[in-house]
Amino acid sequence: MPKKILVVDDELDVLKVISFRLRKAGYEVITASDGQMALEVARENKPDLMLLDIRMPILDGPEVCLRIKNDESLKDIPVIFLTASGGDMVKKDKAGELKAQGFLTKPFEVQELLEAVRSFIG
Amino acid sequence: MLGFRDGKTFFYLDAEPSGSPDYSPPGEIWKKEPSELLRCFLKGEKLVAGPYQDKWGRWVTAFVPLKDFDTQQISAVLGIDMSAAKMRAYIFEYRLLGVLFTLVIFVLLVGFFIVFQLKGIASIEINKQLHFLQQLLDAIPVPVFYRDVGGAYLGCNKAFEEFIGKPKEQIIGKSVYELYPKEVSDVFRHADWQLFIKPFQRQVYETYVQRADGLRIYVVFNNAVYIDTRGDPAGVVGVIMDITERRKAEEALLLSESKFKTLFESSRDAIMLLVPEKGFISGNPATIEMFRCNDEKEFTSYSPADLSPEYQPDGLSSLIKAQQMIAIAMEKGSNYFEWIHKRRDGEEFFATVLLTRMELEGKMLLQATVRDITEHKKAQDSIKQAAEEWQHTFDSITDFIFVMDTESRIIKANEAFIKAFGGNPGNILGKKCFEVVHKSDSRFPNCPFPHTLEAKEVNTVEVDDPGLGITLLVTTSPMLDAAGNIIGVVHIAKDISELKRVQKVIQEALDMKSQFISMASHELRTPLTAIKESINIVSEEADSVLNPEQKQFLDIAKRNLDRLSRLINDILSFQKLEAHKVDFNMQSYNINEVIKEVRSTMEPLARQKGLEFSLALAENLPHISFDKDNITQVLINLINNAIKFTDKGKITVSTEKGDNTIAVAVCDTGRGIKKEDLPKLFQQFQQVGSAHERKTGGTGLGLAISKQIIGQHRGKIWAESEAGAGARFIFLLPIQERRKRVIDA
């Protein structure tokens, strides 16, 4: 039974290349293109890991992360932020509060992505 | 008993104490011998009265007339009572002494012989009376002598002994020539003969003589001839008056007169004498010169009005005003005023005049001291002009300048200040600054005045009083007197509202730029991720179907994507550092350990290029506090550059401990940097040899970022190099006191 990863990004192109890489690496990938949708999909599918873009319309990454961590059924899901801003938003403001497990700065190498993912779900 | 009388009064002197056998009460002679005394006084005859017998015994009285030196009139009669008992002894002594008091004694002798013969008096006690006579002479404080016609001394008093410096015994019988030098003696003898020619004349002459103590003194001789019974001159009686003091006083007077004359003649001030109704009577040379007259005579022919223009500056006629001035001086004693004078050649000049009333030989006149103050006036004018210029300058400055005394009162303000805060000086001067500027009754919170007053230091603060509507940059400076005491505080207040507004605009623009760069970089990253991953996927998936040329182009795309992402990362890093938006995670480390960690990643890169990589680390370095990630970034940047620009040789990283710093140096044996390029190295996008830079794939931001990182660690970074001789990049990190103590402990 392959591990299930939820990838959330409003950029569909980015969503597509990341999904391709992860499927190629043998993971089951589900996607969401905004924060609201991400929460719904997460509750429905109970993924093993979330890759969460920070800058998104409606609900941004940190907000989604907060809600997940405050949801009894979802709080154990590790979250890795995808950021275009060097990860300082996570570092600076909400690192402790968000309980994010890591972050990846765009553009990242495929090796970095897979290493980060493997460090949580093998 | 000895007594004498003048025309009216009987004087009585007595060598004997009252009550002694020889004592005669005053008036006795007068009662007994009126006729003889009167005869002596009126006719000038010497005579002897008596003998008398009374309760004191038997005695005679000799009367000798005394002539006044000046008038040759008989002014007194000398009476000598002689007790008959001692007469003989007197005669005897008289003979032994020789001729003494020839006239008197001769008369006495004659008298006594007659008395002796007629009255049968065996002896008269005359010895005592002679002795007393000598005492009387000795009591006279000025030298008295008498000498005979031949110039031999017959007698003298004590004062004369002192004057000559010899006892009486060595004087009597000696001639003038034996006692005085020849030239003085000649004078005396000549005088004596003059006197003998005209007896009855009193002779007064001045000369100087050497006193016994060697002092040269001026004396006046008062000499007179004494006449024997036949009426022939018998000798000279003289009184010597020392007039040295008087002479000195006269000389001093002469000297002081000459001093005043000199003063008058040589004074640079023009001094003149003026008789109010007559005009000038005298003027010193400075006066003649000042008015350009030919001589004093010409000068004294002018009146004060002649030496003045027609009118004085106040419009009054010089003639009338001069009279007024003179009248004031005459009334009050003096008058000091300014006057315009005119020289004889027509030139006018400013002068001060001091008129002083004085009395000279019973006449009231004025002394005028006139001083030409043209130069002084010029100097005053130039000072006034300078002051005006300064005032103009002061007033044309648009900043507010005002001076306060130590009590916060405004004592001076420029026009800009007056216009802005009060409208006219009356509303400002003397008031407290906060009343005027802040319309408040207490000091503005950050007023710079108290600090300047207390510390005597220049102080600059921004005063942003909402009530004013403007922001002022106020600089206060102490105003010190010559002794260094603070006497006031100068305020220069500049309206910096516009500056503040511009600053705000600039800050907003900078913030916008920063924000824009940040946004743009983020926005670039997302598509970059998509492109990069897409290319990677194609490259991997289609590896088997692509020909070498196609693969090469995909490599070009990948390589440039890498460069683009590095560039974006560096721009973001630099922007954040520049905006001070990077929070440094300061921890204490040994810098050597960090360098060793960097070595493990960088050494392989150097070896790939065939370069040696070595460390020269100082031992026992103290721990210092820094952000490990950022300092690692700096080390990587520097070592990367060294590897990039070195084709052969080696890269050395060394550390060294300085006084308060640790120095880290990265040296290479590359082609070096031209001296003129050194300052540009640390500016963003400044690449030395950009063609090569492209080849080496740098972003041009590495050194700029490093400089920001080191700068924000309170360190310093610089490069040393010469073209062709390798380069040396050094940075210093401070050793913190706290850290030092930990190490010491």
pLDDT tens string B54-106: 555 566 666 666 665 556 666 566 666 665 444 322 222 222 333 334 445 45
From A55, which residue of chain B is nearest by alpha-carbon distance? B522
Distances (CA, A) of B93 to B99, B100, B157, B364, B735: 11, 11, 18, 69, 126
Mean pLDDT of chain B: 79
Whether the Cβ atoms of residue B257 and residue B267 lie closer than 8 Å to each other: no
Q: What's the average model confidence in pLDDT over B626-650?
A: 91
Name residues 459-518 of chain B within 8 A of A (Cβ): 518
Best residue in B525, B532, B573, B630 to probe A by mutation, most A CBs within 10 Å? B525
| ipTM exceeding 0.95, yes/no | no
Please indicate whether residue B516 or residue A48 has the higher confidence score (pLDDT). A48
**Residue count of chain B:** 745
Q: What is the pLDDT of residue B698?
A: 65
- Taking a C-beta distance cutoff of 8 angstroms, is the pair A18, A51 a contact? yes
Long-range pairs of B172-181 with CB within 8 A, sequence gap ≥ 24: B172/B97, B172/B98, B173/B98, B175/B150, B175/B151, B176/B147, B176/B151, B177/B151, B179/B153, B180/B209, B181/B210
Mean pLDDT confidence for B249-253: 79
Q: What is the DSSP letter of A32?
A: E
Tokens of residue A98, six digits: 């968000």
With beta carbons under 8 A apart, name residues in chain A contacting B533. 14, 17-18, 20-21, 107, 110
Helix (H) or strand (E) holding B259: helix B244-266
- Whether the CB of A108 is below 8 Å from some CB of chain B: the reply is yes
Q: How many CB atoms lie within 10 A of CB B153?
A: 22
pLDDT at B150 over 50: yes
In the predicted structure, residue B184 carries a pLDDT above the cut 90: no
Assess whether pLDDT exceeds 60 at residue B28: no
| Integer Cα distance of B66 and B431 in angstroms | 96
Mean of pLDDT values over B651-669: 93
pTM for this predicted structure = 0.45
CA dihedral B105→B107→B109→B110, nearest 10 degrees, is 170
Q: Do A107 and B572 touch (CB under 8 A)?
A: no
pLDDT surpasses 60 at B694: no
With H, G, I as helix, E, B as strand and everything else as coil, classify residue B46. Answer: coil
Reported as a pLDDT band with limits 50, 70 and 90, residue B305 is confident
Query: Which band of pLDDT confidence, cut at 50, 70 and 90, is reported for residue B50?
Result: low
| Distance between B569 CA and the closest CA of chain A, angstroms | 8
Identify the band that residue B717 occupies on the pLDDT scale cut at 50, 70 and 90: very high
Report percent pLDDT > 90 for chain B: 24
**Taking CB atoms and an 8 Å cutoff, what residues of chain A touch B583?**
92
B543-580 tens-digit pLDDT: 888 898 888 888 888 888 888 888 888 888 888 888 88
- Which pLDDT score is estimated for B58? 62
Lowest mean pLDDT segment, chosen from B222-226, B366-370, B461-465: B222-226
Of residues B244 and B476, which shows the higher confidence score? B476
Is the pLDDT assigned to residue B39 strictly greater than 80? no
Evaluate the omega torsion of the peptide bond into residue A78 and state whether it is cis, within 30 degrees of 0: no
Q: Which of B516, B524, B526 to mutate to test the interface with A (most CBs of A within 10 A)?
A: B526
Question: Is A14 touching B (CB cutoff 8 A)?
Answer: yes
Query: What's the rounded mean pLDDT across residues B387-393?
Result: 90
A-B contacts at Cβ under 8 angstroms: 53
For testing the chain B interface, which of A14, A22, A53, A90 should be mutated: the one with the most B CBs within 10 Å? Answer: A14
Mean pLDDT of B166-171: 87
Q: Which residue of B has its CA nearest to A20?
A: B537
Q: List chain B residues with CB under 8 Å of A86.
A: 569, 572-573
User: Above pLDDT 70, what percent of chain B?
Assistant: 79
B528 touches chain A (CB under 8 A): yes
The minimum CA-CA distance between A121 and chain B, rounded to whole Å, is: 22
* Res. B695 pLDDT band, cuts 50 70 90: very low
Q: What 3-state class would DSSP assign to A30? A: strand
> What's the pLDDT band for B602 if we cut at 50, 70, 90?
very high
Tokens 């991720």 — which residue? Answer: B529
Q: Is the dihedral of CA B11, B16, B19, B24 positive or negative?
A: negative
Work out the pLDDT band at B308, boundaries 50, 70, 90. very high
Phi/psi class of residue B621: alpha, beta or left (left: φ > 0; alpha: ψ in -120 to 50)? beta
Give dist(CA B177, CA B189) in Å, integer. Answer: 9
In contact, B59 and B81? CB cutoff 8 Å = yes
Q: Is the pLDDT of residue B396 over 80?
A: yes
How many whole angstroms separate alpha carbon B623 and alpha carbon A92?
Answer: 27
Per-residue pLDDT band at B124 (split at 50, 70, 90): very low
More confident residue, B6 or B713: B713
> A86 at the B interface (CB within 8 A)?
yes
C-alpha torsion angle, residues B707, B708, B711, B712 (rounded to 10): -150
